[in-house]
Amino acid sequence: MAKGKYQEWLTPENLTLLEGWARDGLTDEQIAENIGIRRETLYDWKKRYPNISNALKRGKEVIDRQVENALLKRAIGYEYEEETQEYIPELDRMVVTKRVKKKQAPDVTAQIFWLKNRRPDKWRDKQDIEHSGSVKNEIDMSGLSLEELRKLAELDD
């Protein structure tokens, strides 16, 4: 890495560029490639230079919100209008010939994903169940022979 290369990325113009790349959905690896550095170097810059880290965070926040909104929309269903266009040679342009209102049904997979992540206390696959109290009629079996234990096991079937 050339000494001081990070300095050019601390200028307002380049910080805006970093933010834009993050907003466009580029990964850290792709951003590092655009800068001409290794991904590990970008990680180091993010730790050392808050301006670079903040620019990337601001950009990613926007796209994260858009994805969250799209997931929610998909989970609850939505309405949209679909247009059909047709080229009219006499007018030499496309003209809308039909508008139809359509409904996208809620997506169960999106609902499950949303609930498992937003409400893990109620919706995660693994539930923690706490048991309190004691087991009554505890029997000490430490003195039993293997044969006696097998006979007891057969009784439970």
3-state secondary structure of 62: helix
Q: Is the pLDDT of residue 22 over 50?
A: yes
- The rounded distance, in Å, linking the Cα atoms of 120 and 132 is 23
Q: What confidence category does residue 2 fall into, taking pLDDT thresholds of 50, 70 and 90? A: very low
Share of the chain above pLDDT 70, in %: 91
Residue 1 has pLDDT above 60, yes or no: no
**Which DSSP symbol is given to 37?**
S
- Residue pLDDT, tens place only, 74-102: 999 999 999 999 999 999 999 999 999 99
Q: Tens digit of pLDDT for each residue in 36-72? A: 999 999 999 999 999 999 999 999 998 899 999 999 9
Closest CA to 56 of 70, 67, 64, 46: 46
At residue 112, the pLDDT reads 94
Indicate the pTM of the whole model. 0.55
pLDDT score recorded for residue 150: 87
Region 130-153 average pLDDT: 79
